Every structure is written in structure tokens, then in C-alpha cells.
Structure 1
Amino acid sequence: MDDTQLLSYLQLLEEDAADYTFGQLASDRRKATLEYFRRPYGNEEDGWSQVVTSDVQDTIEWLLPELLKIFISSEDAVVFDPTREAEVKGAQQATDACNYVFYKQNSGFLVLYTAFKDALMYKNCAIHWRKETVRSKETIPVRGATELTLAATMQEGDEIEGIETVPSPLIDPATGQPAIGPDGQPMMQTLLNAKIARITERQVIKVDAFEPECLLVKRDWTSPLLHDCPYVARNMLVTLSDLHVMGYKDVTAEELAGSAEPGNAADSLDRRDRTGRSNEDVTEAQSSASDDESLSTGWLRIEWVLVDADGDGIAERREIWRLKDKILSSEECSQVPVATGSPILVQHRVIGQSIWEIVSDLQKLRTDLTRGVVNNASLANNPRKTVMVDSHGAPMASIEDLLDGRPGGVVQTWGENAIGVEATPYVGNQMQPLLAYVDEMREQRTGLTKQRMGIDPNALRGDRTLGETQIIDDASKQRTELIARMFAEVLVKPVFQGILKLLTEGGMEKIAFKLRGEFVELDPNEWRDSYDMTINVGLGTGDKKGQMAVLNGVKQTQLQLAQSPLGPMMVTPKQIYNTNAKMLDLSGFKNVGDYLTDPGDAKLPEKQEGPPPQVMVKQMELQAESQRFQAETARDMRKLELEDQRATRAAEAQNAVQLANDERDAQRQREKDAADERIELAKIEAAREKVLADNRTKIIVARIAHPEGVPPNVEFTPEGDAVEVDPMEPVMQALGYVADMVTAPKSIVRDENGRPVGVQHGQQMRPIVRDENGRVVGLQ
């Protein structure tokens, strides 16, 4: 098959695939774009509500975070599993390198975000991976170099950018001083200052998500997996400069401009809707580009087709780069480096359904209902007016005044009741259940419930248990997890398989990057071009808390097994390390090496062999004897402790009895002293009265006997009693002092141990007298 036949065959395949892509599919994609951005439906009327609800946008934007979280929450989105023991190291290196290439070198997050959003909106997405040659320019300054040194510094392909000559003294190597010529002057030489431009090229792997309308697939292909599809193509808008950088320097601006856009105008409209460019903007951009041929644009086709190009009767996979009517290159290849996927798989079809497709009619319905409620509220607040007319049909009120809706305006009328109001009842309350029903329909179709969005009014119900909430949440997530699993199998897995294949094809330099806190350098040429693959998207294991609980149980089981005789057969240090590393990863710590050291292939430490049986028996006997001695010692110590406690309690009881006796004796003594005092005072008072009575008698007798001779110290009371100045007054004062002492308060005096030692009576302290048994017998 020559190039002319091949070109005709490719154009036929492109036209057949484009009929579907740029037909109904393009129309649906344009409609999805308009509804996502809440563009008008076209049935709006002036003066009525033109609101457009955001059901499509809300559903897509709520699903995206959950889908992305599933893929990027783990350090490794994909893990390559070895099939033989010798491949363990290579499989681990391939896992680390492919994740590094995808996430770090190609902004994997943005690739997944773009692809997932395309699929949710436009029914499918497209990701392309390939090798690209990156040219980088390095400028090397050279100063004070000779021509020979400059030539030695330059490498093949280097160019000199700017050179100047500089005279400089010739240095004598022996002395290190300027060499002197025969004329006595320093010898001079010419040195060069230059800049060397060094162009380096290196192979890199490029991964990008491109517009789904730029993907063409054979019309009757029945699977989202494209590795066996007979015809797959990517249409790419490029400039003439881009083609020259790719190596196609023989392409002219006219040839590129003649490579028209595939498909029809519908796809062009869709692209302009998304980019926000009008026809005038496109025309202006093309006019500007026409001034510089390097900026001329056109459409490049990259096609992967099964075709018998060499005529051997076997169709080979070939990668063909061409413009519309010119083949640029045709090479045999081993894979189709494009992956596509849909959120809802339709069996036996390459393109499934999108989230827009299952929400679109609900947005239209909700928009109509919302507009009806708004219009009804407007009419209820601003009802229409009725105007009476006369017999000639003329209005009886000024129409101009009625149309002027200024508050407080004046309306002219020519008759009573000329103006009326056409009342409109408000039906918004009756519309709320219908709007709620539309919300319920959307939840059933998408699995995106209000509870997951955090706006469930029943989320704080007191009778809702944690288990009930978890069951509802898990059930609502099943739809999202199914979409994630679909993306994992038909999108992410082929991408990583393709990256690994490109790395192992040869021509790739070693990859150096920082991994788990350490800098590593990996050589892709040491790996196989394929391994078994595990998609690590966190599905089927619950949320992070649930995974942490499971891993913690696994860790405890591993540690218990490690201590048992079955440990060497069932668990290794590497497995224990992996469990702890996964727990750190779930906790958000990516650099596991900062916390744990990888044991590698180390085995569990062997347990030391025990002593001979005879020694073990003797040890057991000694241990039993030691335990018996310890038990007896503990028993004796306990016995002594109990005896000491009993003695202490007895002494405390004796002291308490003694204190009570002392207190009782002191009280009795106080009562006896008080009684003696009262008796003594009574005796003194009786003696005093007797003395006074005797004195009175003597005075009376003396008066009778010698009326004229009453002593001067004898006075008579008004009653006729004679009162003599009492010579006993000092004695009575002394007795009063004694009485005060007797009636003074008494208190017990104790020593530092709290034992009674005396009785404090007024200003006097009387010590307690005890017998030989310590009993109180009196006071001193």
C-alpha cells in the first residue's frame, strides 16, 4: 500500500468516525456546555423570570471532589505487582517512577481533574501519553581562554555566541611571572572571551487530557478500551512553529492552513462556547497570525490504525502523523497511547452516559417550576389592572398613568370604579412539594444526597444513631464508588501501563527524584515492560477511620504472631513495616522514612534456644523453692505487721482510757474544790455575822452603862443602831481575794505528748500528783 492509497484509506476512516463524533454527540456536548454555564434556554420572554437553575453544575462540582479524593488520597495511585521473586525490586521501582512521572512531571492532579470533568459533562474524556524531545539551551561563559582551550571546551553541536579578543601577558610556567622578550618588554598573547551556546535534548514523557471532541474512534467499536481498536485518532490544533519543533520542517504555511478542522461547525461552536471566543475574536486571531507564518495554524491528525502497509497480509499497528492531505510520518508502534472513559458504562458502546445526561431534564423541569413560582410571586405582589371603558370603547382612566409604576404616582380617572385589580393568588407553597420531589429524583439518579453535601435538615435528629447515619452514607456513596472504579479500570490503568511501556522502550535517561525523604536514581532500562497491576483507589475499604481501625487490628495480629512459634511462617518485618507505613500514609504523612526504617528482606529475630531439660527442671525446683520462701517471708511480715497494729491500737485505747480517767478525776477535784470553797465562805460569813452581833450587843450594853462615854469610833445609824468602824475590813478584803481565786476558771495543762500534768486555776498552776501506777491521786 503506497502513500496515496494509505491517505485515501485514512480519510475514509476519519470521515466515518467523524459522522458520529460531530453529529448528535457534538450537539449533546454543546447543550451540556450551555446548561453547565446556565445559559438561557431560548424560550425566555421579556418581563418574565429568566432564571436558570444550576442542577447540572452543582451535581458535577459535588461529585468531582469525592472522585479526586479517591485517587489522590494515597501516595501511589497504581501499584505494579511482580510475578516472580526476582521482579520484586523492579516492580517497586516501576511503581515509584510511574507515579512520579504522572503526578510530579505532568501535574497528575490537573490531568485527572480535566479528564473526570470532561467525562461527567461530555459523556467521555480522553488522555494521551507520549514521548517528547525537549530542547534546552545552556549558555557557558568562557573567559581568558586560548583558541586551543576554547576548542577543547566546545562539544559537538555547540555554537559560539559573541567572542572578543583580549591582549594578556604571556606567563612563564616555570616562574609564574610574565615572560620577558628580547627587547626587555613583557611578551603578549591574545586570549578570548566567549559564550558557548549548548543545545541539549532529552526524552520526557508527556501526559495530557485533551478535548473529547478531538478524539475519533472507529464508529462500530464496542469497548471503552482502545488498545485493540482498528482506528483511533487525535486531532490537534498546532502552529507551523510547533511542527518545525517536532521535526517536520518541510511543511509550509499554505499546507498547514489547508489542513481544515475535522468535523463540522457544531464542534466549532461547542469549542467557542467553552473558550468564550466569538467569531470576531477568531477572525482577528487568524488575521494576526497571517502576519507571521510561524504562527499559522492548522489541524494535525495523529492516527493509530491497523493496516497492512507492507503487503505481507498481516495488519500492523502504525502511528501516522498527517495533515488533511499529506502524510508526515508513518511508523510501526506497539500500543494506542490514548485512554477514554465514561462515568456510566453503556454495554457494547465505546461512549457511555454522562452525569449531565441524567440531570439535564431535571434542570429544565426545575427551571420551569422556579420560573413559575417567581412569576406567580411577581403577579401576586404587582397584580394586573383592569380599566372600564365607556360606551364608545374609550378607557375611563389614563393608560399612561397606569403604565407609570412609580410609587405614589397619580392616575387620572373619568368615572367611579374606573380602575380594578385582577388578583392573582400566590401558589408558591403548593409548588414546594413538587420542587422537593425534583430534588429527590436527582438524589436517586446520582446518589448525591443532601446528607453528603452537608445540607440535610435531618442530620441533627436526636433519634438518628451513628450506625444509621453510616449505613445511609455508605449506600449513597455506592454510585460514586462505581464511577471511580470505572475510571480506574478504563482510564487510569491504561495510562500507567502506557507510561511504563514508554519508560522501558529504551532511550530514557535515569530518573532522579526524592522518595520517602531520600534521593533515589532509577534506571528504567532494568525493568520489564509489563507487570501485573493493582489499582490503589481506596475502594471497598470504607473511609480513613475505618481503614485505620482495620490496619490497627492487622498490626496487633502481626505483632502477636511475631511472638508465637508461627511467626517466621506467617509474618515478616517487611509486612509489619508496610502496615505501619500505610497507617502513616492514611494519616497524611508522606515521608515514611522520617519515622520508620525499611527492614527490606530481613527476617524475624530467632528466639534463643532454652537450656537442657535437666537444667530446666532444676531451675523450676529452685524457682518453686524461692516462691515458697517468698510466700513464707511475706506471711511472717504480715503477721508482725498485724501484731504491731494490735499493739498500737491497744496503746491508743489505754491512752484514751487514761485520758478519760484523768479528765474525770480533774472534774471531780474541781467540783470538790468548789464545794469546799462554798462551805468555807459560808463559815466566814457566819463568823462575821456573829462578830457583828456581839459588837452590837457590847455597844448597847456600854451605852446603857455609860451613856456619856460612847467611844468616838462608834457611829449610830438612823435606826438607832451604833456602827463601829470595822477593824476586820482588811481581813475581809483578803477573803475576797481568796474567793476570786476559788471562782476563777480552771483548765487542764498538758505536756507535748498531750498528757495532763496540772490544773491552771486563775494565776496559779497546780501540778497533778500520781501514784506508782500513774493514776491521778490529787493536786499539789
Structure 2
Amino acid sequence: MAIPMPLAPPAPAPLPVSHDVTIVTTRKLAQARVMGVPPEEFGIERGARSIPDCNYCFHEVVTRTAAQLIAEGFDQEQIQSLNDYTGTTEIETLARDTVDEHFVFNSGGLNSAARLVRITEHYVRMDYEGNGRPSLYQVITGGEQCEILRKGGKECITPFDMMPFAATTPVPVTHRFFGRSIADLVMPLQREKTALKRGALDNLYLSNNPRVEVAESNAGPSTLDDLLVSRPGGVVRTKTPGGLNWQVVPDITTSIYPMLQYLDAELEMRTGLAKQTQGIDADALQNQSATAVAQVFSASQMRIKLIARIMAEGVRDIFSLLHGTIRKHGQQLQTVRLRNTWINIDPRGWKTRDDMTINVALGSGGKRGFENVARIIRR
């Protein structure tokens, strides 16, 4: 006969456990940035007149390390096979390097991830798909053989909407892309002034230490040695008293100083910066009427304003590119502070502005023109 066993009492339910949890939410916001490109890193097709209308331009990117490129998704084997960038072959880069920032040794042995490598971003219009309609593409290459790099297992050949570059020049050249800078206008005159000043100093040095004529009949065994040692109050021993004839160096500074003044006046005409406008010549405005002084200032400022308006055309292109970039890649609503007020901005609702032309304001005079330019930029 089976004897039933008594049932064990049920186990007590576990008590609830509480925890203090801190939740951190991170949001990454994309930013559109404007980066200045050195002239030796940018190139454009020969004969191009503007960047939006050209068929090809490129940018050599030399500021990224191997680790940064690999983190962006480029193929690790390709990046590691690229040579180090030292910048020792670019004349403009070396001329700009005044504190020896570039190295000539290979830094890969020290820290291979931190070494600089050079890649090239090409922007070319071509019929890549073979449909008879050329489109704009970005092609990224690297190495001496310009091998197309891979990102995520695919070749870096990406369709692009527009050239991501804007350029401007203070002195444009008609029907040419490359213009002239202020340095191009004043460098020839500066070289002439340097040559004239060097000639005046050489003339002064010869006047302070002239050459001497010594007849062999008047020269003793120690005369030449005494003349070769030039010191104040030195003694020159000769056989005959008065046997030395000091050469008189003609003074040419009387003709150099007027030429330097002429070059200064030519510099003022080329740049528009006169002594009167800079306030460095106290005698330039003496015995001048108020009307004459105002005309001098106005004529000088007109050239400066012209250069500012020409440069503003490049700023216009920059903001046009920024507008298109933010509108294309802005995928969420953002809250920004504008005029001390927090407002919501959604780039997805912006107008395309395909039918709008941005014009730089030409003020009637004074500060009004620059105020109009600033107002357009803020919009």
C-alpha cells in the first residue's frame, strides 16, 4: 500500500529588484563647412572660364591621415599601400612653410596610422553609364598610378549634382578663369625698389670704405698688409709721404631717391592705397581744402570697394553651394537661434531656387553698399 507523501510548501516569490538607470541620448548633426583650398592642390581643365561650366577639375587632399581614411570606409589595403605625403615637391607649399612643418623622412615606421597620404578627388563630366548623356561624377583615386579607391567594396565613382568649388579673384582677367592678385600688381615694383635700395646701400658702403691707389714705388713691405686690415685709426706704412690716393666714389643716391618716390606713386595708383587714406603722412593734407581731401578719399575708396564687390561674387557662389548642400542632405527638423529667438528650420521645405539669380548689391555710396551686401549674405 502506497503512502502519500506530504507536499512541500511552495517557494516564496522573489522580491522585485529596483535599479537606478541613467539613459544618455546622443544625436549626431551633420554640418556643411567651407574649406579654403590652396592653389597648388586645385586644378582645372585648360581653357575653362568658370567652375560651374568646366568639364573637369580636381582637388588633391593632403590633410588626412591613413587612419582617418580607413575610418571613413576606404579599403584598408589600398590606403596602406599609398606612399607618405611630405609636400617636398610643391614649390608653393615649401614657400608657404616658414617653420619647417614638412618632413623628408618616412613617418610610417613611427606611427603608420598617423602618416599623411594623398588622394585626389576628380570631378569630371562623362558618359559613364553609356546612355549618351554625360553627367557629373566624383572619382577618387590614390597612388602614383591613380588607382580608383574602393569604399565599402565599391569603386569611388559617385554621381554629383554640381561642382563643390567656388573661386574668386580680386583682379579678373576677361574670358579667363585665372585672374590676378594684388601681389601680381605690386611684386614687379617691389623688385625694382629692392634693386634700387640695394644699389643705394652698396654705394654707401663703398663711400664708407673706398678703394685706394698705391704706386709700387711708394709701397713698402708692410703697406699692402696695412691696407688689407681696415680699422678706424689704423696706420698705413709707406715709403713716401702722400703716396696713397683714395678713390672718390660718386654719389648715386641723388638719382635713386626720386625714382623710389615715383615707384611709391605707381604703387598707390595700382592698389588705391595712398598715404592720405592711410593717415601716415601728416604733411600730405596740409593746405588742402575739405572738398579736395574728400575727393582724394573717395577716389581711393572706389578701387577698394570695387575689389570688395568682386570678391563678394565668390561669396555669393559659396552661399549658393551651401544652400544646395544643406537642402539635399538636411533630413530632419532643427532648432536654431536666430535674432535671439529659437525657431524651427526644416531644410526639406526650402525652395530649390533654380529660377533665382543672386546679385551683389551696388550701393549708391558710403556704407550703404556694404550693408546691402551683408544683408544678402545673411539671407
CA distance in 1, matches of 2:241, 2:255: 37
Deviation at 1:192, TM superposition (A): 8.6
Inter-CA distance 459–522: structure 2 relative to 1 (3 Å threshold) = farther
Residue identity in the other structure for 1:516: R
CA distance in 2, matches of 1:358, 1:460: 27
> Does 1:472 pair with 2:307?
no
> Does 1:401 pair with 2:261?
no
Q: Which residue of 1 aligns with 2:121?
A: 302
Deviation at 1:398, TM superposition (A): 2.5
CA distance in 2, matches of 1:518, 1:190: 42
Q: Which residue of 2 aligns with 1:375?
A: 202
Q: Which residue of 2 aligns with 1:319?
A: 138
Matches within 5 A, 1:15-94: none
CA distance in 2, matches of 1:277, 1:457: 38
CA distance in 1, matches of 2:315, 2:341: 27
Of 66, 87, 99, 1:240 maps to: 66
> Does 1:420 pair with 2:241?
no
CA distance in 1, matches of 2:42, 2:172: 18
Residue identity in the other structure for 2:247: E
Matches within 5 A, 1:151-230: 200-221=27-48, 223=49, 225-230=50-55
Inter-CA distance 511–254: structure 2 relative to 1 (3 Å threshold) = same
Q: Is the 8 A contact 1:319 1:333 kept in 2?
A: yes
> Does 1:433 pair with 2:258?
yes
Q: Which residue of 2 aligns with 1:165?
A: none
Aligned residues: 351
Encode CA deviations 1:22-59: one digit per residue, 9 max, x unaligned.
xxxxxxxxxxxxxxxxxxxxxxxxxxxxxxxxxxxxxx
Residue identity in the other structure for 2:92: D
Q: Which residue of 1 aligns with 2:159?
A: 332
The structure whose residues are more often strand, as a share, is 1
Encode CA deviations 1:506-555: one digit per residue, 9 max, x unaligned.
4344443332232333222221122442435xx544333xx4xx9xxxxx
Inter-CA distance 276–251: structure 2 relative to 1 (3 Å threshold) = farther
Residue identity in the other structure for 1:314: R
CA distance in 2, matches of 1:542, 1:290: 61
Q: Which residue of 2 aligns with 1:503?
A: 326
Q: Is the 8 A contact 2:335 2:342 kept in 1?
A: yes
Q: Is the 8 A contact 1:398 1:412 kept in 2?
A: yes
CA distance in 2, matches of 1:235, 1:474: 43
Encode CA deviations 1:607-665: one digit per residue, 9 max, x unaligned.
xxxxxxxxxxxxxxxxxxxxxxxxxxxxxxxxxxxxxxxxxxxxxxxxxxxxxxxxxxx
Q: Is the 8 A contact 1:387 1:397 kept in 2?
A: no
Inter-CA distance 215–334: structure 2 relative to 1 (3 Å threshold) = same
Where does the alignment leave 5 or more consecutive residues of structure 2 unmatched?
Answer: 1-10, 151-155
CA distance in 1, matches of 2:278, 2:69: 47
> Which secondary structure does the structure 2 equivalent of 1:341 belong to?
coil
Q: Which residue of 2 aligns with 1:450?
A: 275
Q: Which residue of 1 aligns with 2:312?
A: 488
CA distance in 1, matches of 2:294, 2:72: 54
> Which secondary structure does the structure 2 equivalent of 1:479 belong to?
helix
CA distance in 1, matches of 2:342, 2:351: 23
Deviation at 1:501, TM superposition (A): 0.6
Deviation at 1:401, TM superposition (A): 2.3
Deviation at 1:429, TM superposition (A): 3.0
CA distance in 2, matches of 1:248, 1:282: 25
CA distance in 1, matches of 2:213, 2:331: 84
> Which secondary structure does the structure 1 equivalent of 2:358 belong to?
strand
Residue identity in the other structure for 2:183: W
Q: Which residue of 2 aligns with 1:342?
A: 169
**Alpha carbon RMSD of aligned pairs, Å?**
3.3
CA distance in 1, matches of 2:340, 2:254: 61
Question: Does 1 or 2 have the higher relative contact order (CA < 8 Å, sep 6+)?
Answer: 1
Matches within 5 A, 1:606-685: none
CA distance in 1, matches of 2:289, 2:149: 67
Inter-CA distance 342–236: structure 2 relative to 1 (3 Å threshold) = same
Q: Which residue of 1 aligns with 2:235?
A: 410
Encode CA deviations 1:565-613: one digit per residue, 9 max, x unaligned.
xxxxxxxxxxxxxxxxx79x99xxxxxxxxxxxxxxxxxxxxxxxxxxx
Q: Which residue of 2 aligns with 1:12?
A: none
Residue identity in the other structure for 2:107: S
Q: Is the 8 A contact 1:203 1:509 kept in 2?
A: no
Deviation at 1:499, TM superposition (A): 0.6
Of 103, 119, 128, 1:282 maps to: 103
Q: What is the TM-score when the length of structure 1 is the normalising length? A: 0.41
Between 330-339 and 352-361, report the one with greater CA deviation.
Answer: 352-361
Q: Is the 8 A contact 2:86 2:103 kept in 1?
A: no
> Which secondary structure does the structure 1 equivalent of 2:132 belong to?
coil
Q: Is the 8 A contact 2:275 2:284 kept in 1?
A: no
Q: What is the TM-score when the length of structure 2 is the normalising length? A: 0.81
